[in-house]
Amino acid sequence: MSDFPTTARVVIIGGGAVGVSTLYHLAKAGWTDCVLLEKNELTAGSTWHAAGNCPNFSASWAVMNMQRYSLEMYRTLADEVDYPMNYHVTGALRLGHTKERMQEFERVASMARYQGLEMDMLTPQEALNYYPFMETHDLEGVLWDPLDGDIDPAQLTQAMAKGARDLGASIQRFCPATGVSRDNDEWIVHTDKGDIKCEFVVNCAGYYAKRVGEWFKPYGGRDVPLTVMSHQYFLTEEIPEIEAWTKENGKKLPMIRDVDSSYYLRQDKHGLNLGPYERNCKAHWVTPEDPMPQDFSFQLYPDDLDRLEWYIEDAMGRVPLLGTSGVGRVINGPIPYAPDGLPLMGPMPGVKNAFEAHSFTFGIVQAGGAGKVMAEWITEGETEWDMWAVDSRRYTEHADFDFCLNKALETYGHEYAMHFPHHEWPAARNKKLSPNHDRLVADGGQMGAYNGWERANWFAKDGDDTSEAATETWNRNGPWAVRVKEEVEAVRDGVGVIDMCGFSRYALKGDGAAEWLRSRVAGALPKVGRMNLVYFADTRGRVVTEMSCIRHGEDAFTLMTAALAQWHDFELLWRNLPDGLELIDISKDYTTMLVTGPKSRALLAGLSDADLSLGWLSIQSAAVAGQEAMLARVSFVGELGWEVHVPTAQAAVVYDAIRDAGAVPFGMFALDSMRIEKGYRTWKGDLSTDYTLHEAGLGRFVRLAKPQDFPGKAALAAEAETGSKKAFVTLVVDAGDADAPYMSTVYKDGAVVGETTSGNYGYRVSKSIALGVVRADLAAPGTELEVEIYGQKCRAVVQADAPLWDPENERLRA
């Protein structure tokens, strides 16, 4: 007991691969006064029974960064910490059955090449050179990743543990954490061996993270949005042909991932390991009859191979050798799933000085990168890469038990699914409904979920194909395309209305609120009675977020941001809020309709007593359809227009009046088409911490001369002095059937020179448009570049630094 630490800077709860990696990276960063608590032996949770597969492949830029870092780290870790590991870099063949799957492969391979990884496209015949035992007659093509492989999860974890201990960090095994409490600004973590007082706590408890999360609810926490899924794989007995091939070639066979059939197949010793992700999957510990046990260390569920019958037969058809040997061992263990299958990482929502890193479905391959990211978040408050894709705050109060369970079942059953740009997943919908929802649906609204809010993406007419299957394409043109064009034209030529339920909005007031805001944002505040955009930077001058700042009085503001940003942006304000100021999330209390188009003034004049002659960026209180409202003279589509903000309870009356007066409803697809023609940025697409404010083309919103020392000021001043290495550009692309997706690689003379941050078709200018960031010397108007779109390099021309539609903003200010 004398060696038991009673104080620490950081306490990590959970001794799986991710928790140990976090400890290791904290120690490497110089934070050696850190303690990891594990209730049993290290790896006792999901880590011990993990298959240990290590792909680079991911359709998420952030996740690919994490996995790339992990695999680079694992290749040298054994020597670095002097701990032997079984790590086999075998390469992997990812099989494509359809044209759409091959397009996905091309896109990910392009992202990989940008990150310095080589992935090659093979014909089915070429794939046989790598794996001669495979049937290929029904394949469209194959993706080859030479750096894929597998690692022993226990050895990996123990190697990182040795590295952490050698640097001075403490690991307490067989020491379960039993709760937490607060002592002023410090945490007290309770254990059976005693209490540990610390500055930061990290929930790395794997499938027990939900239970650990309960301890933090008295201090502002929430129900952790995870579900525990049962994942099975089995190992065959030895197969003589595989043993002979291995001896002849001196290496293992590469892994196969038949993603359209939904399983992986890899060599294990001289047999095979088959791991399906079955549609008829099963969650555990979700009913009173199946409660979560207090301790499930080193335990498994009963075998249930009947669920896998179709997948086993399919795999035997693909590799007939699989059917020549018996089953040697079945592994059926718990894996935590967030609703989208990506990890939950970062600051714990609602709780200061607490973090979480859990719900990893591919925790072994992501552990190295996760530890790096978590150490940065804890020690620096910011990460090298923009990590919104895995940020815990992406799920808000809509992620209840029903949502988490049904999304986990959907996600697990579609683990290898393609995420098409116009497709909406159907499970766990209608969590947050606009007061106008019924009318939107009656008008043909095809709905999409935005932070749980249902918004119309487009409006179908009789006879349109609204099936889910119709959306399973990367192409621009589907049943929605003609309707989106009509909606854009209605806004361009007349007046349209979009129901923008779910905007995140916060009321900020109190003596000194204005001065405090000036110390947080890079630019200026609006005058009383007006609004503008304000940008928040991190210490490196990178874009953290954008908010609309509406100023009602000297120290009274409404700050508005994207629906998805609700918890992220609230916490950006709340975590730095000084005593004496009041900050309230009023997102549910109000809703917004955008009424826009050249005839919008005439329409509103018939419904409102507002002064519609007030200029751009003005705000005013007025009655609309007899209801109280605030009108803001702004339009995200770049036409004359007003945002009509009303109490949620009165929204249906106002919307019905606007529709009945002749406004044409338009959806999010049309909105995005029009905003890109204006060069307006999207949150966590064009606006992310991957770019500084200067690189994002937002220098005009930076006020370096103001006296306040806002975050990032020094970095932005230095960049302004030396010049930026990157520049934000608008590109007109000679695209084919598809527009450039997020993070499409940009080339000049065969060399990678940048990436797109968003792309869409502009129906008012009849052009495919991409926004992006390129090498600064290539930002001159007229520069010809190439954008790779699903494997096709398309000519792209840099445009002048002005909107493509209405470059002088005459329509907007009319």
- C-alpha to C-alpha distance for 564 and 395, rounded to whole angstroms: 8
In the three-class reduction of DSSP (H, G, I as helix; E, B as strand; rest coil), residue 606 is classed as coil
- C-alpha to C-alpha distance for 119 and 67, rounded to whole angstroms: 14
> In Å, what is the CA distance from 601 to each residue of 491, 584, 595, 612, 814?
13, 32, 9, 7, 10
- C-alpha to C-alpha distance for 664 and 674, rounded to whole angstroms: 15
Count other C-beta atoms under 10 Å from residue 379's C-beta: 16
Mean pLDDT of 163-191: 97
403 and 429 Cβ atoms separated by less than 8 Å: no
Count other C-beta atoms under 10 Å from residue 137's C-beta: 5
What would the pLDDT profile of 735-788 be if each residue is shown by its tens digit?
A: 999 999 999 999 999 999 999 999 999 999 999 999 999 999 999 999 999 999
Kindly state the percentage of the chain with pLDDT values over 70.
100
Q: What is the pLDDT of residue 1?
A: 43
Mean pLDDT of 701-711: 98
- C-alpha to C-alpha distance for 224 and 202, rounded to whole angstroms: 14
DSSP of 46-114: HHHH---B-----SSHHHHHHHHHHHHHHHHHHHHHT----EE---EEEEE-SHHHHHHHHHHHHHHHH
Q: Mean pLDDT across the chain, nearest whole number?
A: 97
Mean pLDDT of 697-707: 98
Beta bridge partners of 200: 10
DSSP of 657-717: HHHHTTPEE--HHHHHHHHHHTTPPPBTTTBSTTSBTTTTT-GGG--TTSSS--TTHHHHH
Residue 432's closest CA among 648, 650, 222, 659? 648
In the three-class reduction of DSSP (H, G, I as helix; E, B as strand; rest coil), residue 766 is classed as coil
- C-alpha to C-alpha distance for 412 and 205, rounded to whole angstroms: 20
What would the pLDDT profile of 565-621 be if each residue is shown by its tens digit?
A: 999 999 999 999 999 999 999 999 999 999 999 999 999 999 999 999 999 999 999
Both tokens of residue 539? Answer: 């210490």
Beta bridge partners of 621: 630
- C-alpha to C-alpha distance for 127 and 638, rounded to whole angstroms: 50
Q: Does the model's pTM come out above 0.85?
A: yes
Annotate 268-297 with three-state secondary structure.
Answer: ECCEEEEEECCCCCCEECCECCECCCCCCC
Residues 6+ apart with CB under 8 A from 547: 533, 534, 536, 559, 560, 561, 569
Torsion-angle region of residue 683: left (phi > 0), alpha (psi -120 to 50) or beta? beta
The DSSP symbol for 527 reads P
Confidence of residue 355 (pLDDT cuts 50, 70, 90): very high
Stated as kind and residue range, the H or E segment containing 263 is strand 263-268
What would the pLDDT profile of 605-663 be if each residue is shown by its tens digit?
A: 999 999 999 999 999 999 999 999 999 999 999 999 999 999 999 999 999 999 999 99
CB burial of 756-788 (b: ≥16 within 10 Å; e: otherwise) equals bbbbbbbbbbebbbbbbbbbbebbeeebebbbb
Beta bridge partners of 302: none
Has residue 671 got a pLDDT over 50?
A: yes
Confidence of residue 3 (pLDDT cuts 50, 70, 90): confident
- C-alpha to C-alpha distance for 518 and 525, rounded to whole angstroms: 7
What phi and psi, each to the nearest 5 degrees, are found at residue 52? 80, 20
- C-alpha to C-alpha distance for 258 and 124, rounded to whole angstroms: 13
Torsion-angle region of residue 366: left (phi > 0), alpha (psi -120 to 50) or beta? alpha
**β pairing state of 496-499 and 664-665:** parallel
Residue 427's closest CA among 316, 341, 310? 341
Confidence of residue 2 (pLDDT cuts 50, 70, 90): low
Residue 226's closest CA among 413, 17, 367, 407? 407
What would the pLDDT profile of 204-251 be if each residue is shown by its tens digit?
A: 999 999 999 999 999 999 999 999 999 999 999 999 999 999 999 999
What would the pLDDT profile of 62-107 be if each residue is shown by its tens digit?
A: 999 999 999 999 999 999 999 999 999 999 999 999 999 999 999 9
CA-CA-CA-CA dihedral for 576, 219, 689, 418, to nearest 10: -160
